[in-house]
Amino acid sequence: MTASIQGKRVAFLATDGVEEVEYTEPRKAVESAGGTAELLSIKSGEIQAVNHMDKAGTYQVDKQVKNVSPDEYDALVLPGGVANPDFLRADPDAVRFVREFVVSGKPVAAICHGPWTLVEAGVVDGRTLTSWPSLRTDLANAGATWVDEQVHVDEALVTSRKPDDLPAFCEAMLDQISQPAHA
């Protein structure tokens, strides 16, 4: 079993259209391992999750991304869903936060369409990652090498393709968060 992440603070950046299971399962994994999860968004109030394209649950936002710094967190999770990362990559505060987080060297975990925000932040050039297959060309055009794997870890960057990959994604994410501070 993965080491404890007791005392670690993990930011989940999401907005309307987040794939529910890609938010809830990694969050449960973080909390079960002793970490603290906070939902950041580009808006206040609640966000509307989806199950594929159908409405699912709503989730209370803890903080707006424009009001926080990567320094406040030990790791970042970018859940997918088609609309969620598309909204995030159009928001300058979300893009700045993601860029600063990746540059910090701290763990970042992105699943499904989540890497779209990494592309917009300009942080995938020279990296190897996986995603939902339709992002392959976007990632390649941004300078990344795309692989079709259940989970891929490139330094502190953890990526997976789809909800079926969640067990491997959560395990790799927790493994990265439990490591000594990255730099």
User: Which one from 112, 152, 170, 182 is the annotated catalytic residue?
Assistant: 112
Range of the domain at 41: 9-178
- Rounded mean pLDDT of the chain? 96
Nearest to 176 by CA among 89, 124, 106, 96: 106
- Span 50-87, pLDDT tens digits: 999 899 999 999 999 999 999 999 999 999 999 999 99
Higher-pLDDT residue of 4, 134: 134
Q: What SS3 class is residue 139? A: helix
Nearest to 107 by CA among 175, 22, 13, 14: 175
Higher-pLDDT residue of 9, 1: 9
The answer to whether residue 4 is domain-embedded is no
Q: Count up the domains in the chain and report the number.
A: 1
The answer to whether residue 183 is domain-embedded is no
Known catalytic residue at 152: no
User: Which one from 113, 152, 170, 182 is the annotated catalytic residue?
Assistant: 113
- Span 84-128, pLDDT tens digits: 999 999 999 999 999 999 999 999 999 999 999 999 999 999 999
The answer to whether residue 3 is domain-embedded is no
Q: What is the mean pLDDT of residues 152-165?
A: 97
The answer to whether residue 163 is domain-embedded is yes
Q: Is the pLDDT of residue 143 over 80?
A: yes
The answer to whether residue 2 is domain-embedded is no
Known catalytic residue at 170: no
Global pTM value: 0.97
Residues of the chain with pLDDT > 70, as a percent, come to 97
The answer to whether residue 18 is domain-embedded is yes
Q: Which of 1-10, 17-26, 35-44 is the least confident region?
A: 1-10
Q: How many other CB atoms are there within 10 angstroms of residue 36's CB atom?
A: 15
Distances (CA, A) of 7 to 17, 36, 58, 119, 123: 29, 7, 26, 30, 27
The answer to whether residue 124 is domain-embedded is yes
Residues in contact with 28: Cβ distance below 8 Å, sequence separation at least 6, in sequence order? none
Q: What is the CATH number of the domain that holds 45?
A: 3.40.50.880
Q: Residue 95 has which token pair?
A: 């893009």
